Structure 1
Amino acid sequence: MTGTSSLITLNNGIRMPALGLGVFQSTPEQTAGAVASALEKGYRLIDTAAAYFNERQVGEGLARSGVPRSEVFVTTKLWMSDYGYEQALRGFDVSRRKLGLEYVDLYLLHWPVPTDFAATVASYKAAGRLLADGRVRAIGVCNFGPSHLADLIARTEAVPAVNQVELHPFFTQRALREAAARYGVITQSWSPLGGVNVYAAKDPSVAKSPLTHPVVVALAKRYGKTPAQVVLRWHIEHGLSAIPKSVRPERIAENIGIFDFALKTEDVAAIDALDTGVRGGPDPEIVDTRLFNLSIPD
């Protein structure tokens, strides 16, 4: 084991590792090995989703690792095609069966779907039933803006434990983080290294990564760390959870090597100043099943 993540306490008292392995865009052939490698190197949070089509391989990696189930925090997500109360319960059963687990640590709604928010609310109420039944340990959402959070909480009287959103030095989401903090919701960062600006760039010739920005490069040199380690440490300094994706053992090990140093306050501020206010991924206001026409097979 080469690293150990710090822990964040959720609003229901459950403790979640601050750093985890994300498996978005990890192929089924790559996923089991990446999960086993991450657990060997000290990761204890694995983040997947029904729509990633690799839940079975996450389960295989967990089993292959030999790490006790009680030591690993597993997150998966409900896809929009399964929104609705009964559909959500069925969708969870499919995910749990693919993972090969008796319970899931964190169950998230993947998008807010403003065009059919009633279905979103119904799905979240179903997640609440799963929580009450002990089939999940915490529930939350992804890609919710401040108004989505306020509406969901008002209509369900249940505060999400986590809101997982696009967040990196070029898109810091300060207003959203502050709103979530007022509710007691932990913000978790997807694409924490800003990779979405590269793989989803509308014009690849102008794709930009925070890891090549002169400020980040200079800080990495000063701290004797890599640019990725500096950026991931920036997330930790803000009290965020981050789930960087990698399938390369050396990069997986690099990403967790961030708990032996801290950034100075002025260096955190220097990275904060890189914010462009420009989202790299999809706008949650327009995401629905027409934009992403996926269905989840059993």
Structure 2
Amino acid sequence: MESVTLSSGHSMPLVGLGCWKIEGNVAKETIRTAIKLGYRHFDCAADYGNEAEIGAALQEAIAEGDVTRKDLFITSKLWNTHHAKEHVQEAIERTLSDLRLDYVDLYLIHFPLAMKYVPVTEKYPPGAQMDENGLPQMAKVPIQETWQAMEGLVDAGLARSIGVANFNCILITDLMTYARIPPAVDQVESHPYLVQPVLRRLLSRYNIHMTAYSPFGYPSYQVLGVPFDSKNFLELDLVQEIGARYGKTPAQVALRWNVQKGCSVVPKTVTPSRLTENMSIFDFKLTDEEVSAIDALDKQVRFNNVGLPFVWNSPLFD
């Protein structure tokens, strides 16, 4: 497994296990299997609703000697309901309690959206609080306030690195005008139908590492009923032919493409054979021509538009 050194000085494996949509009843077994197969990077979030089960797996793996805490790289995320400065530490403390850890390696602002506060003792995970018209109840909390509280988590030793997710170029540029501790990571949707070349260049300029979530594109969202009328890029002749040249699957080609463009990837699976497959992308390299050909598949299709009625199919996250 290859790694990247973040601007914070900490090392992060380039392939992690994305824990979104891993049901609680299989989360513990999946994490234990992944650790035995060699995974050390786990991408978690309070909103995924499975951190308690993941924590039980991590504790058991450490106790049985399969891994040490120092070997692991654990990411979690601040949910929208806890953006106010007085609520950020409450959120990470609940995450740490569920994960049975003293610190996380990386803590991200999950979305650049502040919603009405919900105490962790009242509803957890809190999700989105909706009003009588079915619209989310937003909170007047600027990102600057949230970021300063995130920096406090580093000062307190609760997070070794901090970053953001779903931030576009404008939001990153603004954040860099006041950040005392710059974001180490911006985690965004990235796949051959959403190449994001401008964002990639901006993040490189600021030495912010890009992590690609949903690297397989539409299959991650099909079960959610997200509309899409094009062919899955994993089924395209181009991607399949490239894979055949190297004896690799289309999924491995998609992951390798993102890694060669300087990203880490956090694909989700609960299938042991695919856990192994997703890690096995460091024994081949795409040519510049192959990378360019995959780049040319870009449709600027974003499947994760938060799902809020007033931003669905809007340019908010472009």
Q: What is the TM-score normalised by the length of structure 1?
A: 0.89
> Is 1:239 matched up with 2:235?
no
Contact 2:83 2:141 (C-alpha < 8 Å) held by counterparts: no
User: After superposition, where does 1:146-295 map in structure 2 within 5 Å?
Assistant: 146-194=169-217, 195-196=219-220, 198-200=222-224, 202-203=226-227, 206=229, 208-282=231-305
Amino acid at match of 1:272: D
**Aligned runs of 1:102-141 on 2, under 5 Å?**
102-113=102-113, 118-141=141-164
Which amino acid is 1:24 matched to? W
Cα distance in 2 between the residues matched to 1:229 and 1:62:
27
Give the CA deviation at 1:120: 2.7
1:14-70 C-alpha deviation (Å, 9 max, x unpaired): 111111000101110111111111111111100010000111111122123331111
Tell me if structure 1 keeps the 8 A contact 2:44–2:51. Answer: yes
Report the secondary structure of 2:12's partner residue: strand
| CA–CA separation in structure 2 for the residues paired with 1:119 and 1:265 | 41
Using the TM superposition, give the Cα deviation of residue 116 of structure 1 relative to its aligned residue in structure 2, in angstroms. Answer: 5.7
Amino acid at match of 2:56: E
Indicate yes or no: 2:51 matched with 1:23.
Answer: no
Matched, 1:42 2:38: yes
Please tell me whether the aligned partners of residues 197 and 207 of structure 1 are also in contact (alpha carbons under 8 angstroms).
Answer: no
Aligned residue identity for 1:91: A
- Counterpart CA distance in 2 for 1:197 and 1:7 is 28
Distance 2:57 2:311 in 1: 31
| Closer, same or farther: CA 88–73 of 1 in aligned 2, 3 Å | same
Once residues 37 and 238 of structure 2 are traced to their aligned partners in structure 1, the CA distance between those partners, rounded to angstroms, is: 29
Structure that is richer in helix per residue: 1
Q: Residue in 1 aligned with 2:316? A: none
The yes-or-no answer on 1:143 pairing with 2:166 is: yes
Aligned residues: 283
Q: Select the structure of larger CA radius of gyration.
A: 2
Residue 166 (structure 1) shift: 0.5
Which residue of 1 is the match for residue 123 of structure 2? none
Residue by residue, what CA displacement relative to the aligned partner does 1:198-229 show, whole Å, maximum 9, x if unpaired? 3445436x364221111111111111011111
Preserved contact between residue 23 and residue 48 of structure 1 (Cα < 8 Å): yes
- Structure 2's unaligned 5+ residue stretches are 115-137, 313-318
C-alpha separation in 2, matches of 1:154 and 1:96: 30
Deviation at 1:185, TM superposition (A): 0.4
Task: Say if 1:30 and 1:287 are closer, same or farther in 2 by CA, change over 3 A.
Answer: farther
Deviations 1:63-110 (A, max 9, x none): 233311110000000100111111011111011101000110000000
Identical pairs, percent: 37
1:232 to 1:282, Cα distance in 2 relative to 1, 3 A: same
Identify the structure with bigger relative contact order (alpha carbons < 8 Å, sequence gap 6+).
Answer: 1
CA gap 1:94/1:167 in 2 versus in 1, 3 angstroms: same
1:71 aligns with 2:71: yes
Distance 2:306 2:102 in 1: 34
Deviation string for 1:248-296 (max 9, x for gaps)? 11111111011111111111111111110121111699669xxxxxxxx
Counterpart amino acid of residue 13 in structure 1: G
2:120 aligns with none
Give the unaligned 5+ runs of structure 1: 289-298
Question: Retained in 2: the 8 A contact 1:113–1:284?
Answer: no
Q: Is residue 8 of structure 2 the alignment partner of residue 12 of structure 1? A: yes
Question: 2 CA distance for matches of 1:84 and 1:219?
Answer: 47
